[in-house]
Amino acid sequence: MSRTPSELRSTRMGPLARLPAFFALQGKRVVVAGGTAAAAWKAELLSAAGASVEVFAAEPSEDMLALAAAPPSGAVAVQRRVWHADDFSGAALAVADCVDDDEAKTFAAAARAAGVPVNVIDRPGSCDFSFGAIVNRSPLVIGISTDGAAPVFGQAIRAKIEALIPKNFSRWAEAARSWRPRVHALTLPFRARRNFWERFTQRAVTAPNAAPTDAELASLLDRAASRPSGSVILVGAGPGDAELLTLRAVRALQSADVILFDDLVSPDVLDFARREAKKMLVGKTGHRPSCRQDEINALMVSLARAGRRVVRLKGGDPLIFGRADEEIFACREAGIAVEVVPGITTAQGAASRLLVSLTRRGDARRVQYITGHARDGKLPADIDWASVADPAATTVLYMPTKTLPELVARAREAGLDPQTPAVAVERATRADERIIATTIADLPARLAAEPPSGPVVVLIGRVFADYVAAAKTAPAPLIEAKAAGS
């Protein structure tokens, strides 16, 4: 049975508590009412953005007077009186620190009557916009809002981002601003321009403390202007949990023009891709309609030949039962540049949720991965049954559901102890993960009684003895909830 590749339409934007927007205030007049320290802080932010700030306060604080004497950028003028309705004329924004809700409503109504967006400090009901927490690497500016629900949480997120972005990153952001007109003047095609900015970003991320130079600009432009060549990256999506993606995998997804992904890839993983990338399902699922491998190879090569940057996204690790060799060969034969970004294997993901080492000292001297079916869908004829029966081995069975009864019977004939602990993990590491822990003799019947609807991996070996023993004494939902991270 076969099916054709199909494009996945981008999902709609989810609901937003606030619309992130950035005001251009250079040289524009902004009204601030109140002379408190809180009002002074807002006036400082507005001045830093280049606004000409006019403060109305009968009794301005020392903070406000000090700010007026030495503003960060735009002038701050203090009028020692209360505001009037005509003060809003020509203002871009209005900000106030009010003593109560009645004063806040009066100020907001006057500002809105003049067509001026308003913010009243700590009075969300009278606000058209909010400030939020700010990470300043100007001209790179990051705003963080919790819609007033948890300001402390917003500040904690700001601290995390501050730690991730070096202070000197602002030099690269400034270089991007000054270089953009020069890049635009070259009238490069879209793909070349994007290539330039991708290379620029990669350089900035890898050398954030270096000073960007004109020589570097010339080098990046030369490389970007060359004829774009397509490429293919085989990327491991991991077993399901999107947080298990590697940094390199995320960078690949964010630079892709086209993403060819399997049914086993979690939808959450695709959220890391840039929104403009075309996402195409080229599903390969056992015993159900699937895209043929030769079709996938041909599509991948044709897209790369057209100059596209193609990401072939696979569940788990591409090099573990992912047919990576066939796709690598197809690319090499076509002269297409190809690379592999490994991922967390399903076996590793499952073991991490079980909190069991696959190579526990004294119980296992090796780990072996075995596929549960051959190309014809039947049990492979070349399995080394003695190795499966070896009590000192941990065996991981991929795609085992249909052939598990026969596999267990053959392994037992070869000497596998029927009481050997075994764990079946369905949808490993995902929120709806399901675990069945028992003996290898009982596992086929348990799976038949509780048929899986998602991908399954079976892990066999003495290292799971404690886990299986705990499963026998604890209620099944408790074991499953623990595994699912609940």
Identify whether residues 360 and 267 lie together within a single domain: no
Last residue of a domain, one of 225, 252, 271: 225
Confidence of residue 3 (pLDDT cuts 50, 70, 90): low
Cβ-count burial 308-344 (b if 16+ within 10 Å, e if not):
bbbbbbbbbbbbbbbbbeebbebbeebebebebbbbb
Whether the pLDDT of residue 486 is over 50: the answer is no
Cα–Cα distance measured from residue 368 to residue 115, given in angstroms and rounded to the nearest whole number: 70
The residues, any chain, with a CB within 8 Å of residue 196's CB and separated by 6 or more, are: 183, 188, 220, 221, 223, 224
Mean pLDDT, the chain, integer = 89
Helix ranges (DSSP H) in 70-123: 101-113
Residue 116 lies in a domain: yes
Residues annotated as part of the active site = 262, 284
Q: What angle do CA 261, 377, 448 make, to 5 degrees?
A: 95
The confidence band for 225, taking pLDDT boundaries of 50, 70 and 90, is low
- Specify whether the CB–CB gap between 460 and 397 falls below 8 A: yes
| 465 and 367 within one domain | yes
Residue 149's pLDDT is what?
76
pLDDT above 90: percentage of residues in the chain: 60
pTM score over 0.75: no
List, in sequence order, every residue forming a beta bridge with 337; answer none if it has no partner. 231
DSSP conformation class of 375:
T
Instruction: Pick the more confident residue, 465 or 216.
Output: 465
* DSSP assignment of 389-431: H-TTEEEEEES-TTTHHHHHHHHHHTT--TT-EEEEEESTTST
**Two tokens, residue 401:** 């559901």
Q: Is residue 301 a part of any domain in this protein?
A: yes
**First-residue to last-residue Cα distance in the chain:** 38
Tell me the two tokens of residue 15. 């609901």
Residues 325 and 371 in one domain: no
Q: Which of 81, 107, 131 is the last residue of a domain?
A: 131
- Residue 226 has a pLDDT of 65
CATH number of the structural domain spanning residue 122: 3.40.50.720
At residue 67, φ and ψ (nearest 5 deg) are -65, -45
Higher pLDDT, 192 or 410: 410
User: Residue 23 falls within a domain, yes or no?
Assistant: no
Range of the domain at 334: 231-343
- Which of 69-78, 148-157, 292-301 has the highest average model confidence (pLDDT)? 69-78
Non-local (6+) Cβ contacts of 93 within 8 A are: 23, 25, 30, 31, 46, 51, 116, 117, 118, 119, 129
Residue 215 lies in a domain: yes
Same-domain status, 476 and 375: yes
CATH number for the domain including 287? 3.40.1010.10
User: Which of the two residues, 480 and 95, has the higher pLDDT score?
Assistant: 95
Closest CA to 264 of 235, 234, 238: 238
Task: Check residue 481 and give its pLDDT.
Answer: 42
Number of domains in the chain: 4
Residues 236-285: tens digit of each pLDDT: 999 999 999 998 899 899 888 899 998 888 888 998 888 888 999 987 65
Predicted local confidence at residue 335, as pLDDT: 94
Residue 463 pLDDT > 80 = yes
Residue 207 pLDDT > 90:
no
- 224 phi, psi to nearest 5 deg: -70, -35
Same domain? For 366 and 304 the reply is no
Which of the listed ranges 87-96, 167-176, 201-210 does the model predict with the highest average pLDDT?
A: 87-96
- 3-state helix vs strand vs coil in the chain, percent to 5: 40, 20, 40
Q: For residue 315, which amino acid is it?
A: G
Q: Say if 20 falls within a structural domain.
A: no
Do residues 242 and 336 share a domain? yes
* Type and span of the H or E element at 120: strand 118-120
Asked whether residue 37 is domain-assigned, the answer is yes
The predicted model gives 230-237 an average pLDDT of: 94
Is residue 92 within 8 A of residue 23, CB to CB? The reply is yes
- Asked if omega into 391 is within 30° of 0 (cis), the reply is no
Same domain? For 244 and 205 the reply is no
Residue 419 sits in a domain whose CATH number is: 3.30.950.10
322 and 352 together in one domain: no
Look at residue 10 in the predicted model and tell me its pLDDT. 67
CA–CA separation, 395 and 351 (whole Å): 12
Give the closest residue to 96 by CA, choosing from 28, 48, 25, 40: 40
pLDDT tops 90 at residue 478: no
Higher pLDDT, 418 or 164: 418
pLDDT of residue 191: 74
The half-sphere exposure of 343 on its side-chain side, counting CA atoms within 13 A, is: 34
Determine the average pLDDT of the residues in 374-392.
Answer: 92
CB-based contact 426:452 (threshold 8 Å): yes
The span from the CA of 187 to the CA of 183, in Å, is: 8
The domain boundary residue, chosen from 85, 110, 131: 131
Do 364 and 308 sit in the same domain of this protein? Answer: no
Give the span between the Cα atoms of 227 and 231, in whole angstroms. 13
Judge if 263 and 189 occupy the same domain: no
Residue that wins the pLDDT comparison between 12 and 119? 119
Residue 72 is classified by DSSP as S
Residues 218 and 241 in one domain: no
Residues 310-323 have a mean pLDDT of: 93
144 found inside a domain: no
Q: What is the arithmetic mean of pLDDT over 411-425?
A: 96
In a domain, 186, yes or no: yes
pLDDT digits (tens, 9 = 90+) for 113-149: 999 999 999 998 899 999 888 898 888 899 998 887 7
Q: What is the C-alpha separation between 199 and 309, in angstroms, rounded?
A: 14
Count of all residues that appear for the chain in the document = 486
Q: For residues 239 and 218, state if they share a domain.
A: no
